Amino acid sequence: MSIKSGVAGVLDSVLDRTIVPGYSRLGYAVRSMRWDDDPGPSALSGKSVVVTGAGAGLGLAAARGAARLGAVVVVVVRNLQKGENARDAICRAVPSADVRVEICDVANLADVRTLGARLCERVERIDVLVHNAGVMPPSREETVEGHELTLATHVLGPMRLTESVLPALAAADDPRVILVSSGGMYAQSLVTDDIDYRASEYKPATAYARTKRMQVALTPQLNRRWAAHGISTYCMHPGWADTPGVAESLPTFRRITEPLLRTPDQGADTILWLAATEPAPPGGTFWHDRRPRPTHYVRRTRESSGELETLWQYCCAATGITQ
């Protein structure tokens, strides 16, 4: 290892542990200066990329970036008008883009099954599936199936959708599944005695971060399960990005940190890198700014194998996944 690369590695670790610089546009600027592995301009040519929550923010940025790399893009949104607006925005940026719109509420598991069946009929294969849809409701809400909304959106829906499109993923040469988590998960441990947030007082940011912790905790297990179909599964966090979701759900945070926030394109960079880089990185891993990251920084957040098994069993039962 050269002195230069050693210093760069130390600086990267320091940025990762000092949250404000590392998660901000400053961290992105410092790290990106030494990247020499940008995917080529046609890295996703001939491939199909499905992005949930693609109407705005990180999802729109990821979908637009995938189109720039040559992919056929399927944007999954809850609202048809938002989907059409997203398609128009992508096509303005990439006039040659092939963008398709699918309507689905990923918190509604029946709706997700229907979407999965449609996708298997309408696309020959799915090369990349990006689970980006996210919510942070101000008060506790339940889905039609009786699950807490953030859990259903961030954990149950992605599991169910991936299972529903396994034939399309397996048809690809190098299929990849990417879960978009959050650095906020570092503050939370895995809660398995109140997974649907029924017993404790609901706090929006806590509920959000808890389910993002669940995504990270489940990624190795999901990777092992889906590897049987040739799929590599990743989890990543984008840092602090300036998105409509942040503005709506965390207005005070945004007002204070706005000069430091990343652009949506910067936040989505690692999504696109994981989707397109060759060879595929090892699955079951957690990423930020194109590097694998620790999943814990303090001992108190570490989960036991029993807690992981409890969460896994609960999610499988809730989504109808046969083990």
CA nearest to 39, candidates 279, 293, 285: 279
CA nearest to 239, candidates 27, 30, 23, 12: 23
Q: Name the CA dihedral angle for 277, 279, 285, 288, rounded to a multiple of 10 degrees.
A: -30
| Beta bridge pairs of residue 291 | 288
**Active site includes 208?**
yes
Q: Cα(first)–Cα(last) distance of the chain, in Å?
A: 44
Are the CB atoms for 216 and 235 separated by under 8 Å?
yes
Tokens representing residue 218 in the block: 């489940």
Residue 222 one-letter amino acid: L
The phi, psi pair for 290, rounded to 5°, reads: 65, 20
Distance, in Å, from the CA atom of 28 to the CA atom of 17, rounded to the nearest integer, reads: 14
3-state SS class at 70: coil
| Beta bridge pairs of residue 79 | none
Q: Where are the alpha helices (DSSP H) in the chain?
A: 3-17, 19-23, 25-32, 57-68, 80-93, 109-122, 149-151, 157-164, 166-170, 204-226, 244-249, 251-257, 264-276, 305-319
Q: Which of 23, 28, 186, 208 is catalytic?
A: 208
Active site residues: 208
